[in-house]
Amino acid sequence: MPKSAKIPAMASENIIEIEDLHFAYGDNPVLRGINLRVPRGKVVAILGVSGAGKSTILKLIGGQLRPQRGKVTVDGKVINELDNDGIYELRREMGMMFQAGGLFSDLSVYDNIAFPMRELTDLPEDLIYRLVLMKLNAVGLRGASRLMPNELSGGMARRVALARAIGLDPTLTMYDEPFAGLDPISLNLIAHLIRTLNDTLGVTSIVVTYDVTESLKVADYAYFIHNGVVVAEGTAKEMRESRDAFVDQFVHARPNGPVAFQHPAEPLRESLRL
């Protein structure tokens, strides 16, 4: 039975609701009033340039960070109002693929994927064995189960991280830059896997990335983040056809537009003292 069938009748249609979300690292404001919704059973992409605050949003959803203003509601619970036990309980239904992979360097590929299964369940070891190999097979790395993380290429490590994120078929899976560092064949297969898992299991997925081409292939809905706010949103088709200046520049990789290549600075001649 897909997990979506277990949702109580009174549950909100949105598994995540973010309202007027503000967050800053010290004196550097990153989010300046984000509002977005993630419907149950959908794949939602959060897009933006590097440093836009995409990964920060995931950390706020997972309770790693607390907002300075606004609120993050996950499955009907306001994250910033929960204590540590409440956040831990909610995280048991989340899977996370970290941007840097986050593999345990002293554990084999097999044990990295088995780790959450051993920590969060009472499953017998023979069943864990089957589950681990099934997840590794899904990302094409069943034959690498005994390798150590330092024996993996960057792309292989990211595929192992993805296998670990989906190990327990969580209700909500968050992918932080899942397409980075993958060769074209692996990239296409991983994108297809994200979409297939979401539809087969009836779960919800958030894909945070700057890879517009791949994300719009798999996403039901997309948000574009810039300067700490949502500047555009819509279906994949709407985003590809959008005439919004930011979306058009981002989707079509145009050099000129609202997103400047140069960080704000004094004129070059002044810097060179000419």
Q: Is pLDDT at 84 greater than 80 in this prediction? A: yes
64: which residues sit within 8 A by CB, 6+ positions away? none
Contact between 226 and 27 (Cβ < 8 Å): no
| Radius of gyration from C-alpha coordinates of the chain | 20
Rounded to the nearest angstrom, the gap between the alpha carbon of residue 236 and the centroid of all alpha carbons in its chain is 17
Q: How confident is the model at residue 180, as a pLDDT?
A: 79
Q: What is the pLDDT of residues 121-145, one digit of tens each?
A: 899 999 999 999 999 998 889 999 9
For residues 54 and 179, give the distance between their C-alpha atoms in angstroms, rounded to a whole number.
Answer: 15
User: Which of 234, 255, 181 has its CA nearest to residue 211?
Assistant: 181
- Looking up tokens 């036990």 gives 85
Q: Is pLDDT at 9 greater than 50 in this prediction? A: no
Q: Is pLDDT at 175 greater than 60 in this prediction? A: yes
Q: How confident is the model at residue 8, as a pLDDT?
A: 45
Average pLDDT of the chain to the nearest whole number:
86
Q: How confident is the model at residue 11, as a pLDDT?
A: 59
Domain limits of the chain? 11-93+170-179+202-258
CATH architecture for segment(s) 11-93+170-179+202-258: 3-Layer(aba) Sandwich (3.40)
40: which residues sit within 8 A by CB, 6+ positions away? 4, 7, 11, 13, 14, 15, 204
